[in-house]
Amino acid sequence: MTHLVKIFFWGMLISFLGSLPLATLNVTAMNITVKDGIRAAMVYSLGSMVVEIFFVRFGLIGMGWIYRHQKIFKFFEWLTILFLLILSFACFKAAINKTGIGSILPVSTQYPFWLGVLLSATNPLHFTFWFGWSTVLMSRNILLPRPPDYNWYVAGIGLGTMEGFAVFVYGGDYLVKKMNANQNLISWLIGIILLITVMIQVYKTLTRPLLK
């Protein structure tokens, strides 16, 4: 049991820390908080988390196949970059028009759970991020190739992901309440951060070679 708890903790810690850098999923969670409230943002986060742990669980079974088909994930990387770019320009447009951060999300939030599922399903970083960390844990015999280890591992990942999203959901809500009179400033800041993220992602995508 101690071994399984250790696996659970590692999954939770890695997932939480991996959810903190700005990216499409967590910035979208923050935007949904402002637009539709905390409940909608947490439902969105749940949808995103469900897809992530499904991908990780599937990936643990077929890690070799996933890693060999990198051209597929290269496509999804560019798709993610495109979405980030659209979101960045939407932020700039909201700032220029002074319409507030609540209007910058360029997709419908009527069904937040399925929006989380959709955006998470098109995020290629789930495979690359968790393939790398799972390989490290297996090489150190922390994560063993057996179902109980996998189950506790993905359970920890799920909790860590929700904790990471909560930082942006509640943090975004607090930020906007404190700067309610300067919402266009928030839009400028998020837009600039997203644009920098796009440039970093483009560089990484162009410079990382495909495996043969």
Q: Where are the domains of the chain?
A: 2-207
Chain position carrying tokens 């409940």: 39
The CA distance from 120 to 192, in Å, is 23
Give the pLDDT confidence of 63-103 residue by residue, as tens digits.
Answer: 545 545 566 656 766 776 777 787 778 778 777 776 555 44
- 3-state helix, strand, coil split of the chain in percent (to 5) is 85, 0, 15
The CA distance from 107 to 105, in Å, is 6
Could you tell me the pTM of the whole model?
0.68
Q: Tokens in use for 116?
A: 């989380």
Give the pLDDT confidence of 132-184 residue by residue, as tens digits.
Answer: 788 778 767 888 888 898 899 999 999 999 999 999 888 876 766 665 555 66
